[in-house]
Amino acid sequence: MNRILPLILLATLSVFGCEGDYTIYDMHPPEIVIVEVPVEVPVEVPVEVIVEVPVEGGDVWVDRFDQPYTIDGIDIVWLIDKSGSMNQHAQSVVDGIEAMMLALPTSGWRLGITTTGWNNSQYTQEFPLVPGDTVQDAWDAYNNTGNSGHEAGFDSLYAYIVENQYNQSWLRPDAGLLVVFVSDEEEQSSRDFSSTPSGLQDFINWYGNLRPSVFLASIVNIPGPESQCNGNPHGNLVGQRYIDATNAFGGVVVDICSSDWAPGVQAATTQVEPFEEWELTYPPIEDTLIVFVDSVEFLDWAYNSATNSVEFLTIPLEGSHVEIGYVIEPETGDDDDSAAP
């Protein structure tokens, strides 16, 4: 009996031992699933921060100008009122022309003379004054213009430049152009340019587009009390339209009653020449000076403290835009009110 019990137990264990482990297999291949997991990554972001840097001295200033298109020469036209009231100014007119001839360079210019009457300017056939001509030649040219009671400088200039076929033989489209109006009365055009404000603007637009560089000067009666005439000019004696047109081009206005036209005429002449130097508006701290030509730094210059000018060792090309920046030299002494006791 004792032997039978172990056998029964052994048989029982054998039955349960025959039961195996079961594994379920799927016949489909495994599927890969991509899951995006956001991860914070530090990124450097450039930020512009405006910082005020203290600079010794005063404010920053920029002088600027455009180099005129006159390296290839300058054509000049004087349009002179030859009405009877202008006879008293005949000597001053020729003296003014002589002053301009002396102030001009030794070559490259031509100076034509006509009247403010378009009927004269349309047909005149006078070759201009050129380098080497004398004051007597200027007198001859003045007398040969004839007389005209018309005082219409704008119309006359149009006739002289556009309609006069002879003048096409000496006028040069690629040269600079300087026009000088001389009259003791208001501008009275009505043919090509009306007497209205829009007519004035039409003239300014037309003249401004004639050449790459154009200049204007006027020798006229100016409004009182600035006038040097005996008794302030009034009404149609003031050349206001000439003055307005001249100012539109940054030109020079000379009082016709002044005893000496030469300074004004010379100033008008200077503006047409290529700038070899530029007088600064303020005294600079010299170490802060910097020059740009067409937005590119320009190094070929020197500062002349005696004249407070930047001198160009190489002349900037015609048509170039020149900028001169600097810090203004502080004034001598202390004007700060906070320093007062």
Q: How confident is the model at residue 50 (pLDDT cuts 50, 70, 90)?
A: low
> Of 150, 238, 245, which Cα lies nearest the Cα of 186?
238
Cβ–Cβ < 8 Å for 210, 249: no
pLDDT of 51 > 50? The answer is no
Average pLDDT of span 15-36: 54
The last residue of one of the domains, among 251, 270, 289, is 270
Beta bridge partner(s), residue 181: 79, 218
Nearest residue to 255 (alpha-carbon basis) of 216, 223, 219? 219
249 and 182 inside one domain: yes
Written as six digits, the tokens of 276 are: 């070899």
pLDDT of residue 43: 56
pLDDT for 49: 54
pLDDT at 332: 45
Give the CATH number for residue 205.
3.40.50.410
**227 & 161 share domain:** yes
Structural domain ending residue among the three candidates 221, 239, 270:
270
> Given this model, what pLDDT does residue 318 score?
86
Whether residues 169 and 280 fall in one domain: no
The whole-chain average pLDDT of the chain stands at 85
Residues 127 and 194 in one domain: yes
Look at 1-10, 75-84, 190-199 and tell me which has the smallest mean pLDDT: 1-10
Residues 125 and 234 in one domain: yes
In a shared domain, residues 166 and 212: yes
Mean of pLDDT values over 2-20: 45
Residue 233 pLDDT: 77
Residue 37 has a pLDDT of 64
Residue 146: predicted pLDDT: 80
Confidence of residue 22 (pLDDT cuts 50, 70, 90): very low
Residue 78's φ and ψ, nearest 5 degrees, are -100, 125
Domain boundary among 224, 245, 270: 270
pTM equals: 0.72
Nearest to 291 by CA among 281, 282, 278: 278
Distance from C-alpha of 117 to C-alpha of 182, rounded to nearest angstrom: 12
Q: What is the pLDDT of residue 147?
A: 81
- Percent of the chain past pLDDT 90, that is, above it, reads 65
Instruction: Express each pLDDT in 135-158 by its tens digit.
Output: 999 999 999 988 877 899 999 999
* Cα gap 274→253, rounded to integer Å: 21
Do residues 204 and 114 both lie within one domain? yes
Average the pLDDT over each of 40-49, 112-121, 193-202, 203-212 and give the range with the smallest value.
Answer: 40-49
Which token pair is 337? 């009110």
N-terminal to C-terminal alpha carbon distance within the chain: 134
Element at 151 (helix H, strand E): none
Residue 179 is predicted with a pLDDT of 98
Q: What percent of the chain has pLDDT over 70?
A: 81
The per-residue DSSP string of 209-253 comes to TTSSSEEEEEEE---TTS--SSS---GGGS-HHHHHHHHHTT-EE
pLDDT at 20 over 60: no
Per residue in 236-246, is it b (16+ CB within 10 Å) or e — as a string?
Answer: ebbbbbbbbbb
Same domain for 196 and 301? no
Q: Looking at the predicted structure, is the pLDDT value of residue 41 above 90?
A: no
Residues 145, 115 share a domain: yes
Q: 114 pLDDT exceeds 60? A: yes
- Prior bond to 54 cis, omega within 30? no
Instruction: Please say if the pLDDT value at position 241 is more than 70.
Output: yes
Which SS3 state, helix, strand or coil, does residue 181 take? strand
Q: Indicate whether 33 belongs to any domain.
A: no
Where do we find the tokens 């740009």? 292
Integer Cα distance of 239 and 222 in angstroms: 6
Number of independent structural domains in the chain:
2
CA distance readout (Å), 264 to 225, 252, 259? 19, 7, 11
Please indicate, yes or no, whether residues 239 and 193 belong to a single structural domain of this protein: yes
Parent domain of 256: 74-270
Q: pLDDT for 255-272, tens place per residue? A: 999 999 999 999 999 888
**Does residue 20 fall inside a structural domain?**
no
Is residue 333 in some structural domain? no
Contact 118, 152 (CB under 8 A): yes
Same domain, 314 and 241: no
Q: What are phi and psi of 68, to 5 degrees?
A: -70, 155
Residues 301-333: tens digit of each pLDDT: 999 999 999 999 999 998 899 999 999 998 744
* Contact assessment for residue 213 and residue 176, using Cβ atoms and an 8 Å cutoff: yes
Same domain membership, residue 313 and residue 244: no
99 has pLDDT over 90: yes
Cα 242 from Cα 253, distance rounded (Å): 9
Residue 321 in domain: yes
Q: Does 55 map to a domain?
A: no
Task: Give the model confidence (pLDDT) of 154-171 as tens digits.
Answer: 999 999 999 999 999 999
- Decide if 19 is inside a domain: no
Question: What is the mean predicted confidence (pLDDT) over 265-294?
Answer: 93
CA proximity to 255, closest of 208, 222, 289, 213: 222
H runs (alpha helix) in 20-89 = none
Listed residue (69, 74, 272, 100) closest to 171, CA to CA:
74
H-helix or E-strand containing 279? strand 277-279
